Structure 1
Amino acid sequence: MQFKTLPIFLAFLLMGVADAMGPLSSAVSANPFMAALMPFFVFIAFALFSVPGGVLAARIGKKKLLLLGLALCTVAVAVPAFLNPPFPLLLAAIFLLGVGTTFLQVAGNPIMRDVSNEGDYSRNLALAQGIKGVGSTASAFLVTAITGLAYFAAMGWRGAFPVFFVLMALALLLVSTLHVQEAQAEVPPSVANSLALLKEPVFALAVFGIFVYVGAEVCMAAFLKPTLETLGLNAKAAALAGPSLFFGTLTVGRLVAGGLKVSARAFFRLSAILGLAGLVFIMTGTKPLVILGVVLGGLGFANIWPMLFSITVEERPGRASELSGLMCMAISGGALVPLAMARLGGGRPVAFVVPALCFGYLVILSMKGSRKAEA
């Protein structure tokens, strides 16, 4: 690992802070609707600011957008760290955190290419995504664990935010000192010519791949636990053998991939096949096979994002920022695909045909060759 990649890895770790807004929401408000607004405001920021963020990165540079994202996140977490905000102000801060995290994602994924040695981009991005997963888990855990310390316990649900503030400020300082030789944009970017990239099949297919992948991952998060409960597991065992096992395996898979030098295309194909196999096992409704499917699914899901992202960016490095914006916009699949699964009963094994179809598409996509190779 190069020293200059460390600040970028820290930025990926802190992307996970936004994921803590889900577990935190129930502590902020007992009203389910009010609580749901917190993760919603994070999610809507991705839909609104991903493509403009990609355009901005291409115009001002990925490092500057990364710094802007860290600055917005630092201000956002400072609000509950130093104030006991009324709920509207808290939602504004959470939305600002969502915008900042969107910019971190849009800039962080392609800038990893600029700081990586030749041939290391895919595995560094896989490792970065694994570190983001660690950040998500650690941030959610910190929200609960920090209240065990007297000073932070007195702050209630706000107790983790001073820690978040210090880490964000540290990352801002470290990234500001980083020298990055960035790949330059091919043409002056705009939202219109960013969206025009979707007219090229190689990019449209990849963006849709991210859309269905994120949707399938959210399906696993939402419906594994109720599915295992229908198979006879109690709530605690279902949570452990379902989403906890899945995301634990997923994080391990990403961290392991970060230490391997393997063709991104071969790894993408293997990941898609493993993910599809896991989903087929889950669809059997047989408890041992379902749990095996959760493990295979975690390993398969683990590296779809970093491999597909890096493969796509390598097709047109000069448009990396705009492509990143488009692919981050595709995170909206996490809102729409689970609705289709819910229509089939959600927590029933047969309903996993929806994420299985998503992975069927990814398997087909993984069989396509590089446009460069075809040229």
Structure 2
Amino acid sequence: MERYTQAAALPPEAGAAARNNTGPLVIITLLFFMWGLLTSLNDVLIPHLKAVYTLTYVQAMLVQFCFFGAYLIVSIPAGMLIRRLGYQRGAVTGLVIAALGCALFYPAATSGYGVFLCAFFVLAGGITILQVAANPYVTVLGDPRTASSRLTLTQAFNSLGTTVAPALGGMLILSKGVHSADELARWPAAEQLAYRAMEAASVQGPYLVLAGTLMLLAVLFALARLPKIVDASGDDEQGKFSELFAHKHLVLGTIGIFVYVGGEVSIGSFLINFLENPKIGSMTAAQAASYVSLYWGGAMIGRFIGFAVMRRISPGKALAFNAAASIALIATAALGGGKLAMFAILAVGLCNSIMFPTIFSMALHKLGKQTGQASGLLCMAIVGGALVPFAQGALADTIGVQLSFVVPAACYAFILYFGLKYANLHKT
């Protein structure tokens, strides 16, 4: 995802060599859209699979555990694969593996929850390879002086994907609704099994379409005429990996990325169940899914606001302000009720907008030749998206969904500390 990527360092001549790149840029922009779409669809599938298989919240959060765990497990092998195959072939490989992950949803519907988890891991593994390989092309496809505007455009389409996915998934997957565990308990065992199989099968069509779309993009990417990307520096110029931990702002920034991604993903994962609560929104799952789009859409709008505001305010201060606002909003949602609690938690998406790139850039401040290795360390911290929802799930099973939002609130408390500690970092 941007959602969670950083463009590689590239030689300046690479961008100058690219010409007539509108077609390839369109393909890559579509990739960013698909990353956002596929990641945000998890927020729809989690409550759906939870209801179909009568899972606890901890068991349901295994979806995010498998999905974001792939970032930690696959990232290093992905880099090795791309050095062997090259960036373009690496991107095609990532697309094919992601398509295979989507296709696995078809047999998963008749095989059980474990196969779904396997499919999520394969899908995320393909996305991880794809991001490592394809993201640098945004920089080289055109004039280096306009690279930032191209990155902004692709990130906007990534955000569009995260915004569209919940509403789309609500219509395609959640529209029929799912009977509660108490209702199913009164049915004969054979009817329960048949019903669960039918509901699980509702994901087959949408994910087969996604698999076909990814394969089409793989073909287009393979046929596209793209400039060759060469890494700017070798490992021998970067120093030892252990030396990174001497930079306190990098260490704290790595923790910041971990808790930010974890907090953002955790809130999104629980939104539908939260909005279904009679004391909050009293909605059906399909109705709640459209509101999840507001959460992710707020992040898209907030990026444009943040772009203007951060030209006048230091990144650390802006980060601290957004984190403090997030804590206040989550407290309102966790302790309040009705529309106030509902829109408070949705508004956290607006505060999320600037956090990832701001923490990332602050953590990399003045690292020089170690920037590449540090960037890899920060990307590995995205595993927070696997672990924090798991922690909130354990708490939700104990004290309920509403009060379990104390977990992401604690995540934003650390981000507040990081922002205040390095409020003037870029002035030093």
Measured against the shorter chain, the TM-score band is 0.7 to 0.9
Report the counterpart of residue 11 of structure 1 in structure 2: 31
Q: Is the Cα contact below 8 Å between 1:249 and 1:298 reproduced in 2? A: yes
Q: Does the aligned pair in 2 maintain the 1:45–1:95 contact within 8 Å?
A: yes
For the aligned residues, what is the CA RMSD? 4.7
Choose 311-320 or 92-101, whichever is displaced more.
311-320
Q: 2:395 aligns with which of 330, 338, 342?
A: 342
| Alpha-carbon displacement from aligned partner over 1:128-151 (angstroms, at most 9, x marks no partner) | 44134136436634642899xxxx
Structure 2's unaligned 5+ residue stretches are 1-20, 177-198
Work out whether 1:120 is the aligned partner of 2:149.
yes
Q: Which residue of structure 2 lines up, in the alignment, with residue 98 of structure 1?
A: 124
Give, in whole Å, the separation in 1 of the partners of 2:367 and 2:131.
Answer: 18
Helix, strand or coil at the partner of 1:355 = helix
Correspondence 1:213 to 2:260: yes
Shift of 1:220: 2.6
- Whole-Å Cα distance in 2 between the matches of residues 126 and 310 of structure 1? 16
- Aligned residue number for residue 219 of structure 2: 173
2:381 aligned partner: 330
Q: Which residue of 1 aligns with 2:209?
A: 163
Contact 1:70 1:168 in 2 (8 A): yes
- Is the 8 Å Cα contact of residues 65 and 103 (structure 1) preserved in structure 2? yes
One-letter identity of the residue aligned with 1:210: I
1:233 aligns with 2:280: yes
Aligned-residue offset at 1:304: 1.6
Report if aligned partners of 2:138, 2:150 keep a CA contact under 8 Å in 1: yes
Q: Determine the C-alpha separation between the residues in 2 that align with 1:255 and 1:183.
A: 34
Distance 2:271 2:117 in 1: 29
Residue 141 and residue 353 in structure 1: after superposition, are their counterparts in 2 closer, same or farther (change >3 A)? closer
**Alpha-carbon separation, structure 2, partners of 1:349 and 1:168:** 36
TM-score (norm 1): 0.73
Q: Aligned to 2:55, which of 3, 21, 32? A: 32
| Preserved contact between residue 186 and residue 319 of structure 1 (Cα < 8 Å) | no
Q: Which amino acid is 1:253 matched to?
A: A
Q: C-alpha separation between the residues in 1 aligned to 2:302 and 2:70? A: 31
Note if 1:130 corresponds to 2:159.
yes
Range moving further from structure 2, 208-217 or 7-16: 7-16
Q: Secondary structure at the match of 1:367?
A: coil
* SS of residue in 2 equivalent to 1:236: coil
Q: How does 1:81-92 map to 2 (within 5 A)?
A: 86-87=111-112, 91-92=117-118
Contact 2:25 / 2:138 at 8 angstroms: preserved in 1?
Answer: yes
Distance 1:229 1:94, change over 3 A: closer
Q: Residue 259 of structure 2 contacts residue 412 of structure 2 at CA under 8 Å; is this kept in 1?
A: no
2: CA distance between counterparts of 1:348 and 1:294?
12
Identical-pair percentage: 22
Question: Which structure has the bigger radius of gyration?
Answer: 2
Aligned residues: 365
Residues 316 and 423, structure 2, Cα contact 8 Å, conserved in 1: no
Match of 1:150 in 2: none
**Alpha-carbon distance change, 111 to 363 in structure 1, aligned in 2, over 3 angstroms:** farther
Q: Is the 8 A contact 1:211 1:331 kept in 2?
A: yes
Residues 1:270 and 2:299 aligned together? no
Report the Cα offset of residue 99 of structure 1. 0.8
Cα displacement (A) at 1:330: 1.4
In 2, Cα distance between equivalents of 1:247 and 1:366: 32
Secondary structure of the 2:53 match is coil
